[in-house]
Chains A and B, each alone.
Chain A
Amino acid sequence: MSTSKANNLSVTGNGSASGGTYDRAKIDGEYSVQGDLTCERLSVMGNLDIEGSLKTERINLCGELKVLGDVAAQSLKAAGSIKVGGNYTAETLSIYGELAVEGSCEAERLDLRGVIAGDMLNAGTIDIRLFFGESKLKEIGGETIAVRRAGMLDWRRLVKPFLTGGEALSAETIEGDNIYLEHTKAAAVRGTNVRIGPGCEIDWLEYRNEYRADPRSSVKHFAKI
């Protein structure tokens, strides 16, 4: 059931609506929107399905958010899964869980613990801790890019200690100023300072200033340009 007071959308339980513009939207339960949703703040506990685009300042998510179109949201804090059919533009993204964007994902800062999938990721600072599955991106670009495997001391490993398989990232190209990679498979890596940690397979690597590689990784070709 939904109650609209002072132009807020507040939902507890199941339901659906045709979208619209709100000040705050708070969804506790399972809800679907047939159209575009615009609001100042969005908070979801449970599932939200938007069959249009989403425009908001802030998203707080615990659960699952699916958007068929584009998402424009300044900040996102999420534990769970976000699936976007179009492009995602943001300032900051902080995610425990899964981020899947069909189009391109642009942000000033991305912190992710979990799995990421998409076409193009362009962010100023990218900090990815691979956890719980395979990540796949076509292109990654930014100023500072770090991809690591989540540490063995991560508390989630205590919860599911056996689910540690396939934590790796694959990408076609990775380009940035400062790059650090672990457990990453890439056709081309290009950057100013490039450090390759354990478990990487890189076909082609170009660097301008500094390059170091862990002996447990394979880099087929590398060149200073």
Chain B
Amino acid sequence: MDQELISKKDLLELTGISYGQLYRWKRKNLVPEQWFIRKSTFTGQETFFPKEQMLARIDKIKNMKDDLSLDVLADMFSPNPADASMTVAELIERNIVSRTTVQFYPLPQGDEAICSFDRILSLYVAEKLLQSGEMGRDEGTMLLDVMEKHYRSMESKGCDVVLIRKMGISSFLLITGTSELACEPGTKLVVRLPLSACLEELKMKLF
């Protein structure tokens, strides 16, 4: 899973933003620190970025900065959970999670159960993977389990959720966003989903 990198110079040229703007966005935490990858080149030290993620992010900032303040944007991109909690009924009503998904992973209080932002995110990810057909129903339980136990401690680093499967046995991993991953030949990497992207989508729906 090699990510294509883009140098700062090329990025600025491609997107038409200036050095100042980029530093400003970094100060406002619109672009996470981990995306700044420093490398030595013959023209001195240069900074590189994960190309796709960075281009998508800049696109979003450029489109939204006229309507929203940078601070609001920062909130939206932040890996830290927004102060949002909702009941299961609300989630279904607002089309964030389908009833089917909720019924697969029921909470004892039923529709009135209040979901924390973390729980909403987990359900949202589960929903996505179920709909794309990459994850089975029982695997969803594992996903919710790993998210519940480990997401808190890793969220600030920005992480990806990974599903691997070998001979019908599956396993979920949470790994930090920029790290690489290799599997033995018999193992199939079913999906690697950046949670930062899910967070953005989810926050768009919530706000």
Contact = CB atoms under 8 A, between A and B. Distances in A.
Interface of A: 106, 108, 122-124, 139, 141-144, 172-173, 175-178, 187-188, 190-192, 203-204, 206, 221, 225
Nearest to A124: B24
A122 B27 contact: yes
Determine which residue in A123, A172, A190 has the highest number of CB atoms from chain B within 10 A of its CB, and name it: A190
B9 interface: yes
Interface of B: 8-9, 13, 18-24, 26-27, 43-46
Given A176-B19, A192-B18, A203 B27 contact: no
Given A106-B27, A225-B9, A188 B44 contact: yes
A221 B41 CA distance: 14
Given A122-B26, A122-B27, A225-B13, A204 B43 contact: yes
Contacts of B45: 139, 172-173, 187-188
Contact of B19 (A172, A177, A187, A203): A177
Contact of A192 (B19, B26, B44): B19
Contact of A176 (B8, B20, B27, B44): B20
A187 B44 contact: yes
Residues of A contacting B: mostly: strand
A193 to B, nearest CB: 10
A191 B23 contact: no
B30 to A, nearest CB: 13
Contact of A122 (B18, B23, B43, B44): B23
A177 B17 CA distance: 10
B187 to A, nearest CB: 39
Contact of B9 (A141, A190, A192): A190
B26 A173 contact: no
Given A122-B23, A173-B45, A190-B19, 7 more contacts: A106-B27, A108-B27, A124-B24, A141-B26, A172-B45, A175-B19, A187-B45
A101 to B, nearest CB: 14
Contacts of A172: 44-45
B23 A206 contact: no
Contacts of B26: 122, 141
A50 B19 CA distance: 35
Given A190-B9, A225-B13, A177 B20 contact: yes
Contacts of B46: 173, 188
Contacts of B18: 143, 177, 192
Given A192-B18, A225-B9, A203 B44 contact: yes
B134 to A, nearest CB: 39
A173 B8 CA distance: 13
A192 B23 CA distance: 14
Across the A-B interface, the 3 shortest Cβ-Cβ residue pairs = A188-B44, A143-B20, A177-B20
